[in-house]
Amino acid sequence: MAKAQTPLRALIVEDSEDDANLQLRELRSRGYDVTHRRVDTRGALQQALAAQRWDIVLSDYSLPGFTGLDALRILNKAGLDIPFILVSGAVGEEIAVLWRRATRRTCISTRRPPPRTASSLPAWSRAWATLCPTSRSCA
């Protein structure tokens, strides 16, 4: 008998469909039954936050027209207390440290698997597990 999967509603702020699919694959490999929506603009993010309840927000740092920090500000302005994970290869150590100081409740993963490079998934998975063992423990 297969182990029951944990339902998870994930809002993915990402301009690359390939990267979003890798994130979904990672969540599913961790036992989550993921319902998701991918957005890549401020307006789409605001609309998604207003339209549905989400368990977690996964955000790229560098998006056309705004950043992961802008996405977090939109989330905070909406008054929502949802775990927010920054998933980006564009974030160096300096930005990560500043991010941590500015957003104490936020988990960070600065390693994102490159599109179509499955060999990097185990390292990304370990980083994710270290920083955020479950979506609900990101406090």
pLDDT score, position 102: 63
Q: Which residue has 């160096």 as its token pair?
A: 92
**pLDDT one digit per residue (tens) for the chain, 139 residues:** 567 788 999 999 999 999 899 889 988 888 889 999 999 999 999 999 999 999 989 998 888 999 888 998 899 899 988 888 887 766 666 666 666 666 654 455 544 443 333 444 444 455 455 445 444 333 3
**Amino acid identity, residue 17?**
E
| Residue 95 neighbours by CB under 8 Å, 6+ apart | 61
Q: Is the whole-model pTM more than 0.75?
A: no
Domain boundaries, the chain: 6-131
CATH T-level fold of 6-131: Rossmann fold (3.40.50)
